[in-house]
Amino acid sequence: MARKIGLYGMIAYFLYALFFYWYLFYFSNTSLPFEYEGTQADPATFLNARELMLSEEYSKIRNLLFFLSTPFEWLFYLIILITGLSNAFKKWAGQSSKYKMVQTAIYTIWLSFFAFVATFPLSYISYSLSKSYNISTQSFPSWMKDELIDFWLSFGTMFIIVTVVYWLMKKSKKRWWLYAWGLSVPFTLFIMFLQPVVIDPLYNDFYPLKDKQLEAKILELASKANIPAEHVFEVNMAEKTNSLNAYVTGIGSNSRIVLWDTTLNRLSDDQILFIMAHEMAHYVEKHLYIGIAGYLLLSLVGLYITARLMEWIVNKWGEALKIPAVNDIRSFPLFLMILSMLMFASSPISNFVSRYQESRADHYAIEMTKNTEAGITTFQELSRAGLSQVNPPLLVKIFRYGHPTMLERISTIEEYELKTRSQKQ
């Protein structure tokens, strides 16, 4: 039975990979609708022929890697179960220490290590791809350092989860998922509070904006929206990437707007102010807190479904998967696999909400700055720097895009321009 499950899993993954290869490279059409040709949203108007070719090539390969990586994680956890490796991890942990907490840590480190090794090739391919297309400027040692930081942060998080969740499972077989969710609320808020001051600085250096003239302009813009501009930071990303970015992070007193130095180096003050107005909109409309509430709601539903699925799977295929009981630590790969599947399945919903919020932020920036040229040229430069498709395939947009497409964003500004002109006439 275990062999059949493994075989079916590998066949399903192969067919899935084949489908997305065909979809991305042969079926999907990324050309612009006729009515947008020649507009400022048309990449042919702001990218040269080589940039157009590279953006199509890079986007297709990058999107394929995205669609391959998450289901590969599911296949990995399935193999860990059916081969008895999860059993072996527990056995090695039991032989290493008599203390339960230490045994849990040893089990988790083995699972984390095998996951790191299994997913490393795809991670390296993604890194090499971005290097070859001149998106990444990061050296291999620097990249490996970030990978190792990811590993230890992932291990630490996983250790906390497995310790708490399986303790709750033993205390309450039926309601553990509800108690786990209750504990996840303060934990999530605590991590988000620490993110800007503890976790992010592990990867890069953050400091207040250096350009004092630009800072004065941002202060003036921020005062219109009643936003504490002392929360604007820049980060040294030029040693790692040529891409441009700005984002909102943290909650409470640790909340801040972050600008990559690549953004500061390549965009004009007017373009940066447009980006700042966009990020300020997230503060004004409380998007961060709405996002947290949405995440917590989805996690409640997700944990309930996970609990029900784990019970059903263990009752039906527990012997084949070498899981004697749901509350046995050997079921942890199954727990992670189901959660990952549910997150992937729910990503169209979370991305839809995110695209709506980002669209609202774009409208806010347009109304606040009244600088449509800066908005359009900013989005054009973002497309050029990241070699991103202006009009990506539908499935890519649904599963990958937390922002509106560049076609939608630039077209929105052009429509605003037309509306403003007609009102003046």
Catalytic annotation, residues: 279
Beta bridge pairs of residue 260:
235
Distance (Å, whole) CA 67 – CA 64 = 5
**Measured CA angle at 270 (ends 269, 273), to 5 deg:** 85
Amino acid letter, residue 24: L
List the end-to-end C-alpha distance of the chain, in Å, as a whole number: 75
d(CA 155, CA 163): 12
Q: Are the CB atoms for 273 and 366 separated by under 8 Å?
A: no
Burial grade of 4 (CB within 10 A; 0-12, 13-18, 19 or more):
exposed
In one-letter notation, the amino acid at residue 197 is V
- Bin 209: left if φ > 0, else alpha if -120 < ψ < 50, else beta: beta
Contact 168, 179 (CB under 8 A): yes
For 402, residues 6+ apart whose C-beta sits below 8 A from its C-beta are 350, 351, 354, 355, 358
